[in-house]
Structure 1
Amino acid sequence: MAHTRWLDDEEQRTWRAFLSAQRLVSDKVERRLQAGAGMPQAYYEILVRLSEAPERTLRMSVLADCALSSRSRVSHAVARMEEAGWIERRSCPTDRRGQLAHLTDAGFAVLEAAAPDHVESVREALFDGLSPEHRSALREACEAVVAHLSGGGSWPVTGDSGPEGPEPARAS
C-alpha cells in the first residue's frame, strides 16, 4: 500500500484558501456575466479566444485546448453560439475531419458589449483585493501550477494559433 503524503497544517490552510478564493471569484464573475450579458463564462472564454486568433478563426481542437475544456464541451458550446449567430463552423481545408470555429461580426459585437462589465467584475472580485506584490505572487504561483499540471507547458497556450493550429500533441 502506498504511503499517504498528508497535508501539513500550512498546506491544508493553503489548499482551503485556494478553494475558497477560486470558488468565490468564479461565482461572482459568472453571476455578473450571466446577469449582464446573458452568457456563461465558458462562452465568454471561447469568444475571447476566437477574437484573439488570426482571422478570428481557430481549429476546434485548438479552441478546446486554449479554453482548457473538453472537445465535446466546446463543440456543444459552439453549437449553441452558432444558433445565436455568434460563431460559424467551417470545414478545415487541409483536414477533411477537422473543423474551424470562426467568430462572426455579430459574435464580436456581443463580446465587445460584454467585455467592459466582465473586466470590471474580474477587477472587483480579484485584483482590487490584492497589492501589486500579491498580484505578482499569485500569477507566479498559478503559472507554476499550470506548468506542473501541463507537463511543463505554458499558459496561455502558445504556438501557431492560426486556423490550422499547432501540431497535435502526441501522447508519450
Structure 2
Amino acid sequence: MNEIDHATEAAWTALMTKSRVLLEAVETSLKSAGYPPLAWYDALLELEKAGPDGLRPFELKDRILLPQYGTSRLLNRMVKAGLVDRQDCLEDGRGQNISISEKGKSVRRAMWPIYERVLSERIGAKLKPKDAAQLATLLSRL
C-alpha cells in the first residue's frame, strides 16, 4: 500500500477542519436568528431552482447529498412547517413531487443574508477574489 505524502494529508486535514468550522458557523448563525438548519436552506434552494413542478424526493436527495432516510425526515419536517408541498406524481402513482411553498420561498430568502454574512466574514474577508476563485478551481479538481 502506498503512503500518502505529507502535503496530501495536510490538504485533507485543512479541508475537513475548515469545512466543519464554516458549516458550524453558518448553522450557529442561522439558529441564533431563529431559522432552521442549513440543510433546510439547501433543500429549499434546490426546490426553488426546480420551479413549480418541483422534484421527486430521490432527485432532491441527489442534489443535497443526504441519505434517503435523512431526506425523508427532512421533507416530513419541512411539510409540517409549511415550507414545502407534496403532490402525487402523475407519471408514477406511487411517487410524489415536492415543491417549495410561498412560505418556503420567504423563509429561504430570509435565511440568505445570514448565510451570506458568514461566507463574507469567513471567506470573503480573508481571501482576495482571485484567491477564492483559485481555491474553487483547485477544489473542483477533487
Q: Same fold (TM over 0.5)?
A: yes
The list of structure 1 runs, each at least 4 consecutive aligned residues, that deviate by more than 2 angstroms after superposition, is none
Q: Is the 8 A contact 1:56 1:103 kept in 2?
A: no
- Give the corresponding residue for 1:15: 12
1:106-125 alignment, distance < 5 Å: 106-125=103-122
What do the CA deviations read for 1:101-132 (whole angstroms, capped 9, x no partner)?
11111111111111112111122122221122
- Give the corresponding residue for 1:61: 58
Unaligned runs of 5+ in 1: 146-172
Q: 2 CA distance for matches of 1:142 and 1:95?
A: 38
Unaligned runs of 5+ in 2: none
Q: Is the 8 A contact 2:54 2:97 kept in 1?
A: yes
- Give the corresponding residue for 1:70: 67
Q: Is the 8 A contact 2:35 2:111 kept in 1?
A: no
Sequence identity percentage: 26
TM-score, normalised via structure 1 length? 0.77
Q: 2 CA distance for matches of 1:57 and 1:86?
A: 13
Aligned partner of residue 126 in structure 1, secondary structure: helix
- Give the corresponding residue for 2:33: 36
Q: 1 CA distance for matches of 2:75 and 2:25?
A: 24
TM-score, normalised via structure 2 length? 0.91
Q: 2 CA distance for matches of 1:143 and 1:68?
A: 16
CA 68–121 in structure 1, closer or farther in 2 if over 3 Å, else same? same
What letter matches 1:26 in structure 2? L
What letter matches 1:105 in structure 2? E
- Give the corresponding residue for 1:47: 44
Cα RMSD after superposing both structures:
1.5
Q: 2 CA distance for matches of 1:114 and 1:38?
A: 7
Q: 2 CA distance for matches of 1:37 and 1:92?
A: 33
